[in-house]
Amino acid sequence: MLGVTAPRFYVETKWAPPVKEIREASKSFPELTFHLDWWIEQDGPSGELVIRNGDDIDESFRPSSWYLFDDAVFYPTVSLLPAHLPYTLAQRGALRILDAIQTIEGLDRILSDRRFIDSPYSNERDQVALDQTKKTLTELLAQMRSSAAQLTFEGVFLGIEPIWRSDKASPAEMDEKSVLNIDEL
Q: Distance (Å, rounded) from C-alpha 36 to C-alpha 57?
A: 12
Q: Distance (Å, rounded) from C-alpha 9 to C-alpha 45?
A: 20
pLDDT of 173: 47
pLDDT of 180: 47
pLDDT of 161: 53
Q: Distance (Å, rounded) from C-alpha 111 to C-alpha 108?
A: 6
DSSP 23-59: HHHHHHSTTSEEEEEEE-TTT--EEEEEEETTEEEEE
pLDDT of 139: 96
Query: Over the chain (185 residues), what is each successive 10-residue block's mean pLDDT?
Result: 77 87 94 90 86 94 85 88 87 90 94 93 94 96 92 76 45 45 47
What are the two backbone dihedrals, phi and then psi, of residue 170, each rounded to the nearest 5 degrees?
-70, 160
Q: Distance (Å, rounded) from C-alpha 77 to C-alpha 49?
A: 13
Starting at the edge strand that comes first in sequence, how are the strands of the sheet with 55-62 ordered? 33-39, 46-52, 55-62
pLDDT of 170: 44
